[in-house]
Structure 1
Amino acid sequence: MLEVKFYDCNEIEENKLIFVVIMAKFNDKWVLVRHKERNTWEIPAGHIEPSESVEAAASRELFEETGAIDFTIYPVNIYSVNNGEQETYGQLFYAEIRELGELPQTEIAEIKLVDELPKDLTYPLIQPILAKRVQKYVEENF
């Protein structure tokens, strides 16, 4: 069983963070991506490179996975996922995309704009929990 926990943004040391997840809106719709090797949808996300800040990783991943070229990113929380054997940490962000460019030719096949998360998610035990946290953040701050 997976357990997802949330922490304040400065509560966990940055060097422990491995992932960034960016729940983004464009034209008042949530942006989801589909990896070329999958038939399911996911929230834009990726690994933090060794020499990269968490914020730089979030900006890079948002561009690489959605083609976003004009956007603002807001840190929401640090999160952890514990699978019973190990706990991994990531930074959760909310982004408002103002302009989408061409989708870079990387691992993403397409993007989809939605009002709600679909059932066919790549990580159905994690993504809905992260999405609810971002939705709460948006309701409280915008």
Structure 2
Amino acid sequence: MELRKVWGSRPLIAAAVGVLIQDEHGRVLLQRRGDDGLWSEPGGALDPGEDFLTGARRELLEETGLTCPRLTLLPLPESVQDGPELYHCYPNGHEIYIVGMRAHGTLSAAALERAAPDDSGETLELRWFPLDALPELSNNANRKSMTILRARVGLPPLPLAPTPPPPPVGNFLHDLRRVIGHRPWFAPGANVLVTDDQNRLLLLRHGHTRKWTLPGGGLEPGERFEQTAARELFEETGLTAARLEPLEMYAGPEYRFTYPNGDVVDYVSVLYHARNISGTLTPQDGEVLETGWFGVDELPGDEELSGELIRANLRRWKEGQSTQP
């Protein structure tokens, strides 16, 4: 709310988690919201430095008073929340684009008798609903989540509410920094593994950090993670991929990064593997100082890499190499 005083109602990107809880009859647990009186799955924005599963457990407890021992993140790609259809305008006029993940778990129907939402007023009522008899839902994020569950039992997708076109691609985080300064902020984005015919990995030495990193960058409001990956890959390298395969999503306190200018970001990042690359490698002027192709045993040392997120991305790639026949 402090940010809104200076940012106004303009769209922000909200890193959030949705919590899908079902009972033994396949019904889904929904809350009637205090802001618009409509229904949604439990969930909400991550706290700074929080990972998605921790956020899911916290939001479930705050909004229902319940815990779910078997709560897990859905697998990619159905877990990912992104895209222009996940625009939401709150009753007070504040606009957001929801990005993040979905968690899923099961509880007995009788668990609802123990429900005790906190006193914030976010939850007016809790109820189990059959997937073929859902109430009026609050926003498209909820409709997309319910569509995932409905598809599992052969039900058709829910229609989405119309949304305004997203703003043109610019430099959202740069504009936001003018308002928030150096303080920590979630930075949703994507990184891309690009390999050549010798199975060497492409790394870029970044102009700001002078460290080795992967092609990638930040998400713009209304953009999908895959669109970010494709856009940043082309901007930084001149290459395009016929297909981008999602491998893993990263978030949590270990992925906080401080830039040389003092800006602090909490990365929320999807890692993609680029398939069927085309184009000529053309480093982005000023942004990329150097490019290099590295075999699995030739990668730069950890101190030469641009933070823990990139180190985790490279570990994921190395693990994939070790499992190949």
SS of corresponding position for 1:16: strand
Post-superposition shift, 1:140? 5.8
- Structure 1 residue 84: Cα displacement: 9.5
Cα deviation for residue 21 of structure 1 reads 1.2
Which whole-Å CA distance do the structure 2 matches of 1:106 and 1:56 have between them? 23
Deviations 1:56-99 (A, max 9, x none): 11101111122213543211122213259996422111113343
Say which SS state the counterpart of residue 212 (structure 2) adopts: coil
Question: 1:22 and 2:192 equivalent?
Answer: yes
Q: Which has the higher strand share?
A: 1
Q: Does 1:48 align with 2:238?
A: no
* 1:64–1:106 Cα contact (<8 Å) kept: no
Structure 1 gap segments, 5+ residues each: none
Quote the residue 1:74 is aligned against.
Answer: 245
Q: Check whether the contact 1:76–1:137 (CA below 8 A) recurs between aligned residues.
A: no
Q: Where do residues 57-136 of structure 1 align in structure 2 (5 Å cutoff)? A: 57-83=228-254, 88-96=267-275, 97-105=277-285, 107-116=287-296, 117-119=299-301, 120-123=304-307, 125-136=308-319
Is 1:72–1:95's contact at 8 Å kept on the other side of the alignment?
yes
Aligned-partner SS, 1:131: helix
Question: Residues 11 and 40 (structure 1 numbering): CA distance in 2 closer, same or farther, change over 3 Å?
Answer: same
Shift of 1:106: 5.1
**Number of residue-to-residue matches in the alignment:** 140
User: Retained in 2: the 8 A contact 1:77–1:92?
Assistant: yes
- RMSD of aligned residue pairs (Cα, Å): 3.3
Q: Normalising by structure 1, what TM-score?
A: 0.76
Q: Against the structure 1 CA distance between its residues 129 and 110, is the aligned structure 2 distance closer, same or farther, given a 3 Å change threshold?
A: same
Query: Using the alignment, how far apart are the partners of 1:114 and 1:127 within structure 2?
Result: 14
CA–CA distance in structure 1, aligned partners of residues 193 and 316 of structure 2: 10
Correspondence for 1:35: 206
- 8 Å CA contact 2:240–2:279 kept in 1: the answer is yes
Structure 2: segments with no counterpart, 5+ residues: 1-48, 54-72, 83-97, 101-187, 257-264
**Aligned partners of 2:206 and 2:287 also within 8 Å:** yes
> Structure 1 residue 38: deviation in Å?
3.2
Rate the CA distance shift 1:74–1:84 in 2: closer, same or farther, 3 A. closer
- SS of the residue 1:100 aligns to: coil
1:31 maps to a residue whose letter is L
CA distance 1:32–1:69, shift in 2 (3 Å): same
Counterparts of 1:127 and 1:101, CA distance in 2: 21
Say if 2:205 and 2:213, in contact at 8 Å, map to a contact too. Answer: yes
The structure with more radius of gyration: 2
1:90–1:62 distance in 2 versus 1, CA, 3 Å: same
Identity of matched residues, %: 22
CA pair 113-45 structure 1, distance change in 2 beyond 3 A:
same
The 8 Å contact of residues 30 and 113 in structure 1, kept in 2 or not, is answered as yes
Q: Pick the structure with more helix per residue.
A: 2
Asked whether the equivalents of residues 32 and 114 of structure 1 are also in contact (C-alpha less than 8 Å), the reply is yes
Return the alpha-carbon distance in structure 1 between the equivalents of residues 305 and 229 of structure 2: 20
